[in-house]
Amino acid sequence: MEEAFFIQQAKDKMTICKMCRECNGEVCRGLTPGPGGKGTGSTFVRNVAALKKIQLKMAVIGHDVQPDTTYNFYSSIISAPIMAAPISNVKINYGSLVDEQTYLNGLIDGTQEAGVLSFLGDAPAQAMFDLSLDALKKLNGKAIMTIKPWEMSVFMNRLDLVMAENPMAIAMDIDAGGLTSLRSAHPKVTFMSVEQLRMIKQKMGSVPLILKGIMTSEDAMMALDANADAIILSNHGGRVMDQGESSIEVLQEIVEAVNHRCLILIDGGFRTGSDVFKALALGADAVLIGRPFSHASIGSGKEGVVHLVNRLTRELKDAMMLTQCATLSDIDISKVKVRL
Ligand SMILES: Cc1cc2nc3c(=O)[nH]c(=O)nc-3n(C[C@H](O)[C@H](O)[C@H](O)COP(=O)(O)O)c2cc1C
């Protein structure tokens, strides 16, 4: 089916999100709750805009490259280094006409069929957390539950429930400690210290801990101190802090500081396979994509999500073919021009 069909389906099923031609944060500036970025919306806008300051260097003399996009993430071989970012509360945020359960089913069935992974979201309401937990169960632990940094007793309770499902990894969106609406909710979010994070990792044993919301090399060093196995460079799609840097702008500095001591994932504004290529060239291991996965699942469920992953993978393969990259490890800084 044509791209235009999936776009129309998404438009018809959302009353708040306008499903703009380019999802760049302009129309929804300040709409949080909603699909937008906080305040002036400039952090979301900057995420998308900064990616345009990197160009791919075309190389067409050489071999006839057949790009291989497969990626090994904690012993799961996935079809491309692309994952659905955790997103919850689709009724409130997008004005979704499909309910949370239907949205989640489309997301996990679609990512599973397309051979990639989903991060699952969390919210104060136990019922919302339970929906994500059920999705994790359905996937036999092959997804990444993202628990918010709740006050410790609530966090530990939710961690126990997730650990019981034999998860491949567990993430925590530590930047959610700054979400104003959740700082006064019940349960409420908080910021976590290195000691608390270490204690959490100790409880998880060999299950990888992924810290989402790292934007400086100082925080990356503290994540390493806390024994995190991976970090996600993310500003929550611009929803936590106004006037912040974009995640792609801080990538190279953090890659250098981390120096291969943990995996580095990134999200914020990635819309095409060429965007994914840019992050890999600057040193990221894989890329999470948020809003486009929500649009795809709300609009067309599993088929929409499969269509999205196929398009992104096709674009990534095109980018690799035209830069003479046969494998993901061939993608490096020499393949792009950076004007950040
Ligand atoms: C409506 C909405 C809800 C979100 N909910 C969560 C959440 O529950 N947990 C989380 O870690 N991040 C959440 N995020 C942030 C995303 O996981 C991700 O960091 C961000 O959307 C990436 O930017 P992109 O949408 O421009 O790709 C949410 C984002 C949006 C737009």
Domains detected in the chain: 3-18+25-338 (3.20.20.70)
- CA dist., res. 138 & res. 77, Å (int): 19
For residue 212 and ligand 1, the question of a CB distance below 6 A is answered with yes
Residues 6+ apart with CB under 8 A from 14: 94, 95, 96, 97, 295, 298, 299
Give the per-residue pLDDT at 307.
98
> What is the three-state SS of 192-220?
CCHHHHHHHHHHHCCCCEEEEEECCHHHH
Q: Is 129 in the pocket of ligand 1 (CB under 6 A)?
A: no
pLDDT at 283: 98
pLDDT of residue 63: 87
Per annotation, catalytic residue among 236, 260, 295, 307:
236
Within the chain, which residues score under 70 in pLDDT? none
Which residue owns the Cα nearest ligand 1 atom 13? 87
- The four Cα atoms 22, 292, 88, 113 give a dihedral, to 10 degrees, of 170
Asked if residue 146 has its Cβ within 6 Å of ligand 1, the reply is yes
**pTM over cut 0.95:** yes
248 Cα–ligand 1 center, Å: 16
